[in-house]
Amino acid sequence: MTALKDSPYLLADVRLEEGFEKDGDVIVATRTALYALEIKYGRIAALHAAGSALPAGLPIYRANGRLALPTMRDMHIHLDKTFYGGPWRAPRPRQGKTIMDMIALEEKLLPQLLPTSVERAEGLIALLQSKGSTVARSHCNIDPVSGLKSLEHLKIALERHRQDFVCEIVAFPQHGLLHSKVDGLMREAMQMGVDYVGGLDPTNVDGAMEKSLDAMFQIALDAGKGVDIHLHETSPAGVAAIDYMIDTVEKTPALKGKVTISHAFALTVLSPEQLEETAGRPAFSERHDHRLDGADRRPDDAAAEARRKRRLRHDRHRQRDRPLVALRQRRHAGKGLSLRAALSRVGRVPAVPVAGHFDRRRAAARQGRQPRLAEGWR
């Protein structure tokens, strides 16, 4: 993937969608046509229909009739630790393994992965780009084994792609914020240009729900960052954690609109009445006008910051319309959804599990089993 340095320039022979062909009420085809896009500072400044006169003197690149679509964003990925790019490794059965078993396994794996983690992160970025994703939010391990090395390596990989890939970083205490005693490392990470404070199962891993969540929020408040927590717990721990986080956000103005709960398996075990009650909490339904994501982060340099903001500007409408606490589940990983929106989509999942992690989790939850950890390990 290459970034065009010219500005302005023309991107000619681009196919754009114009509308639909209908047979009565049924859409039977998409209407498209070719255009030349006039691009200024990374934004579409004008559309010129094929055959019309083009502004003189601008460099022209040709898309050869390819369809232009909005970029895709991978909003939950771990670029810092991946087997991708290395020798094939068959998945191993994880039945009966607890999250503590997985942490112990990772303590062995991390030293093996670190020497090649920059190259592997770059490989994963190239894979994302090849499928159309140019924006991501990556969690990054902050743990006693790798220290800040995972973050340092991720930053090297991202620096090499600062022209063609935009990525927010979540400092992620994968081995438990309290359990692995990484409060100090997390605070150091905040000074290294991360955008969000991560968290992990405050009861099952840290063994102290309120203390763990308070510590996570305090780091965020001290650094002026947002929060994006991995919550794999179901009931009662996960439900209690969600309630506690909502309580905290509702009474802490600085956190409003800046908290994302990733996975949130607990929602799958609530009764319809409990779901309705949770969905009715103001944090999930109030709208909050807040700044561009990451606007408070320290820019590495003004030009890079300006580029990043230009790329994210198109998202502003969505940022303004975000709930105080957003949910991100694998099934709907592309964006933070309000609880009502998330639930309305979940409601369309067939009652009989067919395929996919999320459906299996729901089935497991219904049968009173904890979802397998393997599904949460990301």
Q: Whole-number minimum distance, CB 120 to Zn ion, in Å?
A: 16
Selected from 15, 48, 309, 378, the binder of Zn ion by CB under 5 A is 378
Stretch that binds Zn ion, among 111-119, 238-246, 314-322, 370-378 (CB under 5 A): 370-378
Please report how close the Cβ of residue 25 comes to Zn ion at its closest, in angstroms: 41
Enter the tokens of residue 371.
Answer: 């979802």
Nearest distance, CB of residue 2 and Zn ion, angstroms: 30
Give min distance, CB of 260 to Zn ion, in A: 11
- Decide whether 94 or 378 has the Cβ nearer to Zn ion: 378
Rounded to a whole number of angstroms, the minimum distance from the CB of residue 81 to Zn ion is: 10
| Closer residue to Zn ion in complex, CB, 257/376 | 376
Q: Which is nearer to Zn ion, 10 or 138 (CB)?
A: 138
Instruction: Give dist(CA 169, CA 195) in Å, integer.
Output: 5
Check binding of 357 to Zn ion (CB under 5 A). no
In sequence order, the 6+-apart residues with CB closer than 8 A to the CB of 197 are 170, 171, 186, 190, 216, 217, 219, 220, 223, 225, 226, 227, 228
The residue at minimum Cβ distance from Zn ion is 378
Decide: 74 and 128 in contact? Cβ < 8 Å: yes
Query: In the complex with Zn ion, which residue's Cβ is closer, 61 or 377?
Result: 377
Q: Across-strand partners of 31?
A: 19
Secondary-structure percent of the chain, ordered helix, strand, coil, rounded to 5: 40, 25, 40
Contact mark string toward Zn ion, 41..80, x via CB under 5 A? ----------------------------------------
Name the residue nearer to Zn ion (CB basis): 172 or 284.
Answer: 172
Q: Toward Zn ion, which CB reaches closer, 162 or 378?
A: 378
Nearest approach, Cβ of residue 240 and Zn ion (Å): 21
DSSP letters spanning 52-102: SPPPTT--EEE-TTPBP-PPEEEEEE-TTS--TTSS--PPPP-TT--HHHH
Question: What number of chain residues touch Zn ion (CB under 5 A)?
Answer: 1
What distance, in Å, lies between the first and last C-alpha atoms of the chain? 26
d(CA 315, CA 56) in angstroms, rounded, equals: 31
Residues in touch with Zn ion (CB under 5 A): 378
